[in-house]
Amino acid sequence: MDNKSYSYFKRDISWLSFNYRVLLEAKDERLPIYERIKFLSIYSSNLEEFYKIRVSGYHSSLLESINREESVEEAMKTIVQINSEVTSQEKEYYAIFNNMILPELRRNSIVLYQTDKVEPFHRAYVEKYFNEEVFPYLQPMIIMKDDIHSFIQDGRIYQVVSLLKRRKKKEGEGLSYTYAIMKIPYTKIPRFIELPSYGGNYYIMFIDDVIKANMQSVFPGYEIVDCFSIKISRDADFSLEDEDQKDIAEKILRKVRKRKIGAVTRFQYDRDMPGYFLKHICEAYEIEEEELLPSGRYLNLADLANLPNPVGDSLRQQLPQPLRVPELESNNSVLRVLRRQDVLLHFPYQSFDYLLRFLLQAAFDPKVLEIKVTQYRVAENSAVINSLISAAKNGKKVTVFVELKARFDEENNYLSSELMQQAGVKIIYSLPGLKVHAKLAYIRKRSNDPDDPLKGYAYLGTGNFNEKTARIYSDKGLLTSNKEIIKDIDEVFRVLEGKPYMHDFKHLLVTQFNMIPEIYKMIDREIEQVEGGGIGQIILKMNSLEDKGMIDALYRASEAGVKIDLIIRGICCLIPNQPYSKNITVTRIVDAYLEHARVWYFLNGGEENIYLTSADWMERNLLRRIEVAFPIYNESLKRQIIDILKIQLEDNQSAVWVDENLNNVFKHNDMAPVRAQEAIYDYLKRSTGQEI
């Protein structure tokens, strides 16, 4: 089939389908109430970043009249489509919040106020709290048209107030409103205030309502007519693709600091705001119609992540303790174990501490000469960084490639690199035009063999060197001393260090070199199997699938009769259930852990090739990043991965099909219930000889 007749979902509309799937978790009555609230928070946080980064690109194209991907008309059409879908989703969001979450909290003796009308038994407390803790930080300003007015900061909640002067109205005189704006000082006070319990109930109040309940004392001499919340999201995207290496850290930090004053991409307001009021605000702050997003009484509900829980753990999801890895428990030295065998780690089912132990032991091992690591996103006060600092102080040569262009982690990465430099770690900053997204650590040890100077150990992962996210992100990592893999890893670091590389990659697939052609070869090989009368099968697990070249290859494979199962958490531009995709299924899993591992499976005539990788099939990953995919050669480890993929495809509790209309169709069926994340934990527990 001519690929001109192939169709694709729009990337950002597909992403909205994923975020809606996150929202659906808040409706799942099987989950503890605070787990459901967590998903409301995640939904809001995701949407905020979406408007800062993705929607900002469409607004930029309107201003510049050009865009690499879309015409002005198409950009406007997409903005309208996005805003329409988001408005619809947010209506459901507030219906879930008001009709499901609040009643369930009440059933657990928790009352979350939804009004500024304070109960008599709380009035004195709320007034005292306002006067002592809130009032000193309020800075109300009158909104003056055609005059200098206050700047609305990105992501902050403001209350806008319409006022009438308390004076006698002259006959025939119309109402003359005064308008004011006031930022909620959330850096000084919490978003939620716990009030004294009463009648066996716990009470919690939004700080928004605490202020509203005492608004009259802020504006003496005025009658308060209306008060509503507003919030602006600003363009937080910037590009450094064409920057050279010189002073790149300073350039990035300057651009990061400008995020707070970026162009408006979304103006959220309480949908109950009267038209006259909204019109005045829009004129005063030059808000365009395509930026308007009606919302609910309470904005910035990512803050629900911090909703107090006065009842305790019974209302939260209880995650199991990470499993032990027997081969690493039976020997104090991780490095000694790796001389005999590869070890595959499954986070968060197994502890991230093994990776920390690996790095720390390398820092103190007298045979270790050098450590090289890529850094994309690390935790604050990172144990990984502390291990590298210890290694440098112990006389090891330590090199860390720091990706300063890791969005929203630029400053944290810069600060951690400064700490490492002070300890003697060599820091190499971003490559011009590319992001380094590969997750690699290479530990070189002393070799007495001049023909084999690259002895050592390596770690290759699908996720970041981040002990905090490793508790909630589902990822995989390989610890190995395989000499051939290590030769290829050394080559990757030579590329990152700007040195000439010595040979072609024999085992690793690396973007900018051999990854794209090798993927096409593996897909074509499955097609050849079918055409030769055999069976072709592909299973791909990743966060996102967007690259049209890769999608076209999968469409062609489907047309040839290759069975393709996709497990795609987020963006999926491939459309299933079409004549050219009838052999393709798309599964999405949203559960307690964020599905983050990328796994590629090719049947290959029964030989079964498996690669793990940091790479999604996105244009940015394949064309504008350094990514690495690594093979699994050990048969028992390979079987583990295949078994886990099969468990995920059998999930009929947390998994959905993504259909041809981007609907999330739950896989609920008459089969025995399978919740993949629970089943994987049990599988790993059994396979490592630990009792269930």
| Catalytic residue positions, numbered | 437
**In DSSP terms, which residues pair with 163 in a beta bridge?**
178, 224
Alpha carbon distance 370, 577 (integer Å): 52
Torsion of Cα atoms, 116 then 120 then 125 then 127, to 10° = 50
CA distances from 50 to 46, 133, 175, 552, 626 (A): 6, 34, 41, 27, 24
Tell the residue number behind the tokens 């049990």, with chain if given. 682
**Which amino acid, one-letter code, is at 133?**
E
- The span from the CA of 484 to the CA of 454, in Å, is 10
Six-digit token string for 431: 């490559």
Q: Is the previous residue joined to 348 through a cis bond, with omega within 30 degrees of 0? A: yes
What are the distances in angstroms from CA 25 to CA 266, 317, 353, 586? 25, 13, 30, 19
Helix (H, G, I), strand (E, B) or coil at 438: coil
Is residue 224 helix, strand or coil? strand
- Separation of alpha carbons 614 and 598, rounded Å: 6
| 690, two tokens | 């630990």
Compute the chain's Rg from CA coordinates: 28
3-state secondary structure of 40: helix
- Picking from 167, 402, 116, 154, the residue whose alpha carbon sits closest to that of residue 257 is 154
Residue in this structure with the two tokens 């299924």, named with its chain if needed: 585
Q: 294 and 91 in contact (C-beta within 8 Å)?
A: no
Which single residue is written with the structure tokens 């089939």? 1
Between the alpha carbon of residue 48 and those of residues 120, 262, 267, the distances in Å are 37, 14, 11
